[in-house]
Amino acid sequence: MPSIKRKVILFYSADILLVTVSFLIFIWIKPASLRLYLPHYIQPFLIFLGVWLAASIPSKKYSYEGKNRLNDFINPVLISNLIALGIVTIMIVGYGRFQYSRLIVFGTIGLTALLELILFSLFYYYRKLNRNSDNSEALKEYLDHMEKLADEVNSLQIAEPEYTEQFPVFTLRNYEQQIISELNEPAYNFISTHVDTMHNRTIVLSTTTRFNVETIPTGVSNVIVNLQPINDIKRINKFFEAVNSKLPVGGAYINCVLTNEIRKKRILRIYPWGINYIFYFMHFIFKRIFPKMPVLKKFYFFMTNGYERALSKAEAFGRLYSCGFEVVAEQQIQDMLFFAARKITEPAFDMNPTYGPLISLKRMGKNGKIIHVYKFRTMHPYSEYIQQYVYAKNSLQEGGKFANDFRISTTGRIMRKLWIDELPMLFNLIIGDLKLVGVRPLSLHYYSLYTKELQELRSRYRPGLIPPFYADMPETLEEIMESETRYLQAYAKHPFRTDFRYFWKAVNNIVIKRKRSG
């Protein structure tokens, strides 16, 4: 009961904040409003705020119990807002109060209603996630397990399969002419670089359905090569899982993908200037936006049957890692990216990968507790599976970010530069996962790069929305750890004074000096 009452109080407080912010925004939009309108609107604003909160009571907007579906949260918001709108309209029209700007009055109502819908939708998805779920721990254990196994499996040696006399399996040399005819000689050379052409028991397929993989007896081959791009496979993860089940640990899987990056360059290259950008825009909308929208997704797959799906390099490799593979080599050959992967472990069978525009990221919170931090998507889907891969390839750059991080989309880079991606984290501030100033909430992998002493120190306190990074602007990982250690040690002695000082230093660096984290 106390926790439920606390959430109700948080809802009331958040709603008051949303109404106030919306009101101030429209006061600011109105010409000369801060000097002229604001004093005139203080009293009616307080009356309006009382009406808004009172209208929420009959709809049970702020109640917590018995709400399991999204509609249980959204419908009370719509009902209470309509009640408030009706009351305010009657007050304005019935009492002839037209000296009040309708832009300010109805703009405040409309913006607050929109922000409320976002807030309650976030809370629904927050509740839907099991914040201490086995999935969070399972992902961490799965990635740790893969990292350990990757060290144990020698990439130069492919495990021998169990021999089955009845099923015909050949070496790569037997398929040489067919592969060159189907693809090209550079593609065959790439494959032969990662396969013993004379000894590895190799099965070469040219298929987009996992049925042809599942018909292969388990244990007869230690190399599977597929000549069809994974873009044409409707259920990619199921296909990868089928391949995984047919290979021994250390077995090789070689395939190719037409990535979004390569496809864009090809479209801009083959069409005349002007037309190429129009064509690419249409392609972007249909191939990349439609599949991510709930209703349009069904239309997209009905029209295409999953053929020529748009895939980023990050998503393609992330799916491989989630299905138990590790990428050991990649090479672009003409307009196709070929990859060689090896089986490390069984698939993760992740049923909830981060895919939509609003994502929930698993981060380390106070006392080592896994929290879900909300952000707008800036990375391609399945990027969480290849953090170690990116770190191993590119290491870290100044500011503690991954260098040349191909997981970040073009839109994501713009959003990060303007901090748009972090706006949903205000919800984490409201529900108490984060405080205003504090160390950055870290991913499990990034957290593992910290010293044990700093990990222990970090776990005593809640992470924050504004990290000490923006006060000190460190450049290397070591400097970032030193900055966080200084902050946490000072915070332990004088919490309020420390946060106040770091807040204004960060504001000065961000607003006045225009500094960024990279």
pLDDT of residue 208: 92
**How many other CB atoms are there within 10 angstroms of residue 477's CB atom?**
16
Element spanning 445, H or E: helix 444-448
Residue 215 has pLDDT above 80, yes or no: yes
How far are the Cα atoms of 79, 80, 146, 194, 392 from residue 155, in angstroms, in the given order?
61, 62, 14, 9, 15
Residue 165: pLDDT band with limits 50, 70, 90: low
Identify the residue with better confidence: 321 or 28.
321
Query: What percent of the chain clears pLDDT 90, i.e. is strictly above it?
Result: 31
| Closest to 483 in 3D by CA, of 426, 430, 424, 438 | 438
Residue 353 has pLDDT above 80, yes or no: no
Domain range summary for the chain, segments of one domain joined by +: 2-128, 139-259+311-343, 354-512
Q: What is the mean pLDDT of residues 270-298?
A: 84
CA distance 403 to 388: 13
Identify the residue with better confidence: 454 or 445.
454
SS3 at position 242: helix
Residue 512, burial from CB neighbour count under 10 angstroms (0-12, 13-18, 19+): exposed
Please report the DSSP string for 112-166 in residue order: HHHHHHHHHHHHHHHHHS-TT-HHHHHHHHHHHHHHHHHHHS-TT-PPPPPP-TT
Read off the tokens for 171: 């070496």
* Residue bearing tokens 């309020």: 496
Q: What is the mean pLDDT of residues 499-516?
A: 81
Residue 153 has pLDDT above 70, yes or no: no
Residue 308: pLDDT band with limits 50, 70, 90: confident
Residue 184: pLDDT band with limits 50, 70, 90: very high
How far are the Cα atoms of 55, 61, 252 from residue 48, in angstroms, in the given order?
10, 17, 67
Identify the residue with better confidence: 62 or 271.
271
Please report the DSSP string for 262-322 in residue order: HHHHHHHHHSPTTHHHHHHHHHIIIIIIGGGSHHHHHHHHHHHTTTT--B-HHHHHHHHHH
**How many other CB atoms are there within 10 angstroms of residue 422's CB atom?**
18
CA distance 411 to 442: 22
Identify the residue with better confidence: 133 or 391.
391
**How many other CB atoms are there within 10 angstroms of residue 185's CB atom?**
11
CA distance 469 to 401: 12
Q: What is the Rg, in whole angstroms, of the alpha carbon atoms belonging to the chain?
A: 28
Read off the tokens for 136: 């969070």
User: What DSSP state is assigned to residue 79?
Assistant: H
pLDDT of residue 132: 37
Q: How many CA atoms lie within 13 A of 497 on its CB side?
A: 5
Residue 343: pLDDT band with limits 50, 70, 90: very high
* Residue bearing tokens 């959204």: 74
Q: What is the mean pLDDT of residues 133-160?
A: 57
Q: Are strands 202-205 and 223-226 parallel, antiparallel or unpaired?
A: parallel
Read off the tokens for 277: 């950008």
Residue 236 has pLDDT above 80, yes or no: yes
Q: What mean pLDDT, rounded, does the chain reach?
A: 81
**How many other CB atoms are there within 10 angstroms of residue 497's CB atom?**
11
User: What DSSP state is assigned to residue 379?
Assistant: B
Q: What is the mean pLDDT of residues 80-101?
A: 73
pLDDT of residue 149: 65
CA distance 54 to 121: 22
pLDDT of residue 156: 45
Q: What is the mean pLDDT of residues 178-204?
A: 91
Q: What is the mean pLDDT of residues 265-282?
A: 89
Provide the β-strand partners of residue 252. 223, 342
SS3 at position 347: coil
pLDDT of residue 136: 46
| Closest to 228 in 3D by CA, of 204, 211, 201 | 204
Residue 231 near residue 203 (C-beta atoms within 8 A): no
Element spanning 330, H or E: strand 325-333
Backbone phi and psi for residue 317, each to the nearest 5 degrees, phi listed first: -70, -35
Which CATH fold would you assign to the domain 139-259+311-343?
A: Rossmann fold (3.40.50)
CA distance 130 to 369: 12
Residue 378 near residue 411 (C-beta atoms within 8 A): yes
Provide the β-strand partners of residue 364. 370
